[in-house]
């Protein structure tokens, strides 16, 4: 019990000394040991890394789960070390509603059949979203969270300990300074003040040793932030790869759905021209067998308008057919490869038509007095 009381009294004395030193520093009444510029830069970089990691983590969580209530629920499950229950994605819920609507409104009607097709596509989109959220959480969010809850807590603990060691060091410096000043004024009690000075110098040497040791430990932890950046960079690449895969899957699913709806709409409304010729599904990335690169459709390469062995048609001699011209809305900007092609701007309207023997992937486009070949994949045919 005596030992505990002595330790408690000692700890209280140390705490009081540090508080006095800290207060005097704030009021400019005590000197403060400054850290070197390199150490200060390490501290600033560590603080910046921590702050931006928190922001990126929070916003990524919002991206993966926009519902704040669901995020709070998942947070509570994680803190309780319980498995987060499987949650239906918005796409899967929409697919369920569409399937139920088709069942009630008539699955054999045109509307019901279309609802079923769209529901199947939305279900596949929801499954792709679920896989993306799972992959991103493991490969990106978990490393960021581990840094904040592990490495950063260790760094913060050592920094607080370094701050205490610095306060102890500066308090010892202040006591030594006062002892020397009192020794210089004393005349008859010189031996007494000599002992006080020797004691203060001894305490200062001990405090300086402990401060230097703690500064070195903290410095090594702060320099480890470079390794943290390398690890986060790798995780960021994995996040981009998983996001690329997700959007490529969505792109393919929607292309398939658009083709299905185009063929069914042509059967339902035979008097109307439906859709556009869509490009093939995007190729898989060569860097990863599981990653598909969704790219903008590119116009096919065509040597000319005429079949092989015949002279190429001259555009100035081409006249639009008496019937069969259509209006088309441009989907993307297109830069003409040569003088035979017509440059396009997104959202503009042009007149298009085809000619006998012409490559089906191309049409003749007219805008005012300008005329040229245009790729079908860049157009939405309206009428």
Per-residue model confidence as pLDDT tens digits over 251-261: 999 999 988 88
Per-residue model confidence as pLDDT tens digits over 32-57: 778 899 999 999 999 999 999 999 99
Q: What is the pLDDT of residue 380?
A: 87
- Output 359 or 18, whichever has higher pLDDT: 359
Q: What is the pLDDT of residue 278?
A: 45
Task: Render 93-148 in DSSP notation, one character per residue.
Answer: HHHHHHHHHHHHH-TTSHHHHHHHHHHHHHHHHHHHHHHHHHHHIIIIIHHHHHII
Task: Say which DSSP state 284 is in.
Answer: B
Q: Where are the alpha helices (DSSP H) in the chain?
A: 2-26, 37-64, 68-79, 90-105, 110-136, 142-146, 152-185, 190-223, 225-268
Q: What is the pLDDT of residue 272?
A: 43
Per the document, the length of the chain is 383
Unique residue bearing structure tokens 């083709």: 259
pLDDT greater than 80 at residue 71: no
pLDDT band at 176 (very low <50, low <70, confident <90, very high): confident
pLDDT greater than 60 at residue 187: no
pLDDT greater than 50 at residue 137: yes
The stretch 85-106 carries a mean pLDDT of 90
Q: What is the pLDDT of residue 33?
A: 79
The stretch 292-308 carries a mean pLDDT of 41
- What's the rounded Cα separation, in Å, for the pair 351 and 32? 79
CA angle 208, 34, 215 (to 5 degrees): 50
- Output 125 or 23, whichever has higher pLDDT: 125
Q: What is the pLDDT of residue 317?
A: 63
Q: What is the pLDDT of residue 189?
A: 52
pLDDT band at 127 (very low <50, low <70, confident <90, very high): very high
The encoded tokens of residue 369 equal: 């007095």
> What does the CA dihedral 165, 170, 175, 178 come to, rounded to 10 degrees?
180
The helix (H) or strand (E) run that includes residue 225 is helix 225-268
> pTM for the whole thing?
0.61
- Output 175 or 111, whichever has higher pLDDT: 111
Q: In 3D, which of 314, 323, 312 has the Cα closest to residue 353? A: 323
- What's the rounded Cα separation, in Å, for the pair 258 and 218? 59
Q: What is the pLDDT of residue 54?
A: 96
pLDDT band at 303 (very low <50, low <70, confident <90, very high): very low
Percent of the chain surpassing pLDDT 70: 72
Min mean pLDDT across 60-74, 126-140, 202-216, 275-289 is at 275-289
CB 133 within 8 A of CB 113: no
Q: What is the pLDDT of residue 131?
A: 93
CB within 8 Å of 97: residues ≥ 6 apart: none
The encoded tokens of residue 124 equal: 């596949």
Query: Which SS3 state, helix, strand or coil, does residue 336 take?
Result: coil
The stretch 296-313 carries a mean pLDDT of 42
Residue 378 burial (C-beta neighbours within 10 Å; 0-12, 13-18, 19+) = buried
Q: What is the pLDDT of residue 314?
A: 62
Q: What is the pLDDT of residue 230?
A: 96
């Amino acid at each position: 019990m005596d030992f505990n009381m002595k330790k408690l009294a000692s700890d209280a004395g140390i705490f009081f000394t540090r508080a006095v030193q800290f207060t005097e520093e704030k009021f400019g009444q005590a000197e403060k040991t400054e850290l070197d510029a390199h150490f200060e830069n390490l501290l600033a970089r560590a603080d910046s890394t921590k702050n931006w990691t928190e922001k990126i983590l929070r916003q990524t969580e919002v991206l993966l789960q926009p519902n704040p209530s669901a995020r709070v629920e998942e947070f509570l499950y994680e803190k309780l070390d319980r498995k987060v229950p499987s949650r239906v994605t918005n796409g899967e819920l929409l697919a369920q509603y569409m399937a139920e609507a088709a069942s009630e409104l008539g699955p054999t009607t045109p509307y019901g059949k279309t609802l079923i097709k769209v529901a199947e596509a939305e279900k596949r989109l929801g499954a792709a979203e679920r896989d993306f959220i799972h992959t991103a959480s493991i490969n990106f969010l978990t490393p960021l969270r581990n840094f904040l809850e592990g490495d950063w807590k260790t760094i913060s603990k050592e920094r607080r300990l370094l701050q205490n060691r610095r306060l102890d060091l500066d308090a010892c410096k202040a006591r030594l300074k006062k002892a020397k000043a009192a020794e210089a004024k004393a005349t008859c009690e010189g031996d007494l003040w000599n002992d006080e000075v020797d004691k203060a110098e001894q305490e200062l040497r001990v405090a300086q040793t402990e401060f230097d040791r703690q500064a070195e430990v903290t410095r090594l932890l702060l320099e480890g932030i470079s390794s943290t950046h390398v690890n986060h960079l790798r995780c960021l690449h994995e996040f981009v790869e998983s996001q690329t895969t997700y959007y490529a899957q969505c792109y393919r699913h929607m292309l398939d759905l658009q083709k299905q709806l185009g063929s069914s709409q042509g059967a339902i409304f035979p008097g109307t021209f439906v859709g556009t010729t869509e490009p093939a599904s995007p190729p898989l990335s060569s860097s990863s067998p599981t990653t598909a690169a969704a790219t903008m459709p590119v116009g096919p390469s065509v040597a000319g308008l005429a079949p092989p062995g015949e002279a190429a048609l001259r555009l100035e001699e081409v006249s639009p057919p008496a019937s069969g011209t259509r209006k088309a809305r441009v989907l993307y900007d297109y830069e003409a490869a040569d003088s035979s092609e017509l440059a396009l701007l997104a959202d503009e309207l042009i007149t298009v038509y085809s000619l006998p023997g012409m490559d089906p992937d191309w049409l003749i486009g007219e805008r005012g007095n300008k005329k040229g070949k245009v790729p079908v994949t860049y157009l939405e045919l309206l009428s």
